[in-house]
Chain A
């Protein structure tokens, strides 16, 4: 952990060397999710509700997904660039070092400009938390924290799977973007609006609805059972297949050679 902090501070300092470019990149990131928000706002102000969710309720779900995604992207960005690590042989060097591999990959790159998105998510939460009319008892606050934390884990697992697949293909696979970027883009709305099949997929296969839709129902009081509050924890099970795939890939890994 101490070593990780050391790495973090190195990354912060190195990215702060180019202050203007960092600032612009952060702004750019902010803009990307800002136009997504603008689109959502246009639609919501035209139709007022969707699947019975009003704007503040939708925004809570959106900001949970966005926060979770940006945390995962800041921390696990290196997995996104993993095909490059394999291609240039950097990964072979990591295999030699006496530290955990996942740790080393994580430490290789941290993308701090993603705070741009985080900032927007924070603004949305700041608006939605009072506007939603939810009475923020301790259990609701706990639910919100669980949603974000578990969401970050699930997104990180998706990045890990992406990296694991590139053990086999040696290059990134674009269709994984449907799950990562797609999860972020379509997580703007509570996942139930996409119909039963999609919801089922996002519950049992890629458990994104477990940290967004179901606990949201609890937050806004549509469901009162405590079961919904702890559903995000269930999504943590996703760690097992992701880690399994990574191990499998690692065992089959042959270097790309020089």
Chain B
């Protein structure tokens, strides 16, 4: 456990050095959130009754999404891991007395957490201060906020567990950038990354909400905004735990198989 914490700490302080990149990213995300909200307000003007969430809930959803983007984005990969596998230096990694699945998992968690820490607070600060209807509000009550925090951590773990599966697949297909992009984009969509799930047509929505991808950003963002509350929120968190366990176990098993079969060419 201590070793994993160390991996986390090293990675975290490594990533947190890139402040200029974070500043540039913040400007991007701020502009992005703003445009997104302007788009939703255009639809809101057309017919408020057809809106499946309240407008304020949508506003909160979008701002939290932008602030915590680094935690939840599915199209972000640790290139190092792919390089390790394709270049063969995996051999050294396997020689180390540390479970590789756990190590990579911690490394991914740390990168995402550090990137998020740098970006989230300034974005949230601005989102709370802008005047007018696009201003962000606090969650309905303290209990809801606690549920949101729990759900955020779980969502982060589910996202990392999912990307672990993609990393492991690199043992079998050496170069599959296209596949990776496709998987990431589709998953992001089903997690409510482009349009929140309540905006989906009812039939698709009921399917999407049961898929493991709904356990990603969809859950914490909707809990924060109050769109999912009380017993529903607890049920949602249970679903997150379930998918985390399933994906984690599957990833671990698969990793063991892959490691057993891996052949590194010498030379």
- Is B189 an interface residue when CB atoms closer than 8 A count as contact? yes
Q: How many residues of A contact B (CB 8 A)?
A: 37
Q: For residue B24, which residue of chain A has the nearest CB? A: A174
The reply to whether A25 and B200 form a contact with Cβ atoms under 8 Å apart is no
Does B186 have its Cβ within 8 Å of any Cβ on chain A?
A: yes
Contact B46 A21 (CB under 8 A): no
Report the Cα distance A223→B189, complex, angstroms: 36
From the candidates A24, A31, A47, A175, name the one contacting B46 in the complex (CB within 8 A): A47
Which residue of chain A has its CB nearest to the CB of B47?
A: A47
CB contacts under 8 Å to B, within A123-173, are 173
A178 pairs with B28, CB closer than 8 A: yes
Q: Which of B37-45, B96-104, B214-222 contacts A (4 or more CB under 8 A)?
A: B37-45
A93 on interface, CB distance cutoff 8 Å: no
Q: Do the beta carbons of A193 and B42 come within 8 Å of each other?
A: yes
A28 touching B46 in the complex, CB below 8 Å, given contacts A42-B199, A175-B27, A178-B32: no
Q: Are B177 and A47 in contact (CB under 8 A)?
A: no
Q: Is there an interface contact between A198 and B178, defined as CB atoms closer than 8 Å?
A: no
The answer to whether A48 touches B46 (Cβ under 8 A) is yes
Residues of A within 8 A of B (CB): 18, 21, 23-29, 31-32, 35-36, 38-39, 42-43, 45-51, 113, 173-175, 177-178, 182, 186, 189, 193-195, 198
18 A-B contacts, Cβ less than 8 Å apart? Answer: A24-B178, A25-B177, A27-B178, A27-B182, A38-B194, A42-B201, A45-B201, A47-B43, A50-B42, A51-B42, A51-B46, A113-B178, A175-B27, A178-B27, A178-B28, A182-B31, A186-B35, A194-B35
9 extra interchain contacts, Cβ-Cβ under 8 A, other than A24-B177, A46-B201? A18-B175, A24-B179, A43-B43, A46-B43, A46-B199, A47-B43, A174-B28, A193-B38, A194-B38
